[in-house]
Amino acid sequence: MIDERLDRQLVAFNERYQKCFYSSSNADDIKKNRYFSNIRSLDFKRVVEDLKYRKYAKKHFSTEGNIVSQIPHAINPSGLKIAVYCCIVGQYDSIIEPIYNEDNIDYLVYTDQDLPVNSSWRKREIRNFPEYTQLKAAQLNRKIKILQTDELLRYDFTIYVDGNIEIVSGLSPIIANMGQYGLGVHYHRRRDCIYDEVVAVKHLKRLSGEDMDEQINTYRRDGFPTHFGMYENSILIRNNRDEETIDLMQEWWNEYMRFPTRDQLSLPYVVWKTGYNKNKVYILGNDVERNPRFNRLYNHK
């Protein structure tokens, strides 16, 4: 059972930490440092690209499409089978221990790494999966992330977290608030459009993005609208008793394998293409980095 007093204290403490760490002044300092670093290194091409990108972002980037009408469906999570899980293949991420874990929630990690002594995670040896030698590490991660496993599907609710996410507090309050919603995700904090996301990914990660161009041009030809809304998928909650959501996950996996780029690009498209009711999406917040029940500790390796 959750210690409600301790849970409130952890959430309040992490709210204060995130407010300081993600302050607007800190974000401005990061941008300035990157800008002046390019100047000092005489990387004027990068400076020009940064300025063009900022101009594009100011004109096109929006979060107005990240709107879903939230209807409360609170439930009592006691008696429900709940699992938190992550999937770490190879050395892509290090295993992060939860700061707080609840006795009535199972914490499972699908990995080929050794766990620390007295870990809160229960290891599931991923080398036993036939897909371990059939799929690339990123694809195997996405399969377990999106489709889950037979073991996970036997739980009423599952909470997936990326390998760089730290669990700070109790998670049953999230399930209580989510209630009968099928899917729980965060909105992207800066963008509501996958077309703009491709521009951002190309610029920030210095990618040519030809594979993403093929994907996004296909979606454009299909009539997928701009500013449809975009999700941040580093934390996913599924109501495994909701068949429509389970079907959506299968379609998402199929689409991801058709275009194995970034799963953020394919989920909004699949929601639109299948006619999945957006009002069944429970929004965990508008910024995963400002959800005090979690911390994102670092970028992926």
Domain boundaries, the chain: 1-301
**Residue given tokens 């979060």 in the structure block:** 63
Q: pTM of the predicted model, to two decimals?
A: 0.90
More confident residue, 53 or 39: 53
**1-301 has CATH 3.90.550.10 classification:** yes
Phi and psi at residue 90, to the nearest 5°:
70, -145
- 101-120: average pLDDT: 94
Smallest Cα–Cα separation from 165: which of 289, 7, 301?
289
Q: How far apart are CA 195 and CA 243, in angstroms?
A: 30
Q: How far apart are CA 56 and CA 285, in angstroms?
A: 26
pLDDT in tens, 168-208: 999 999 999 988 899 999 999 999 999 999 999 999 887 88
Q: What is the DSSP letter of 179?
A: T
DSSP for 231-289, please give it.
EEEEEEEEETT-HHHHHHHHHHHHHHHHS-S-HHHHHHHHHHHHT--GGGEEEEES-GG
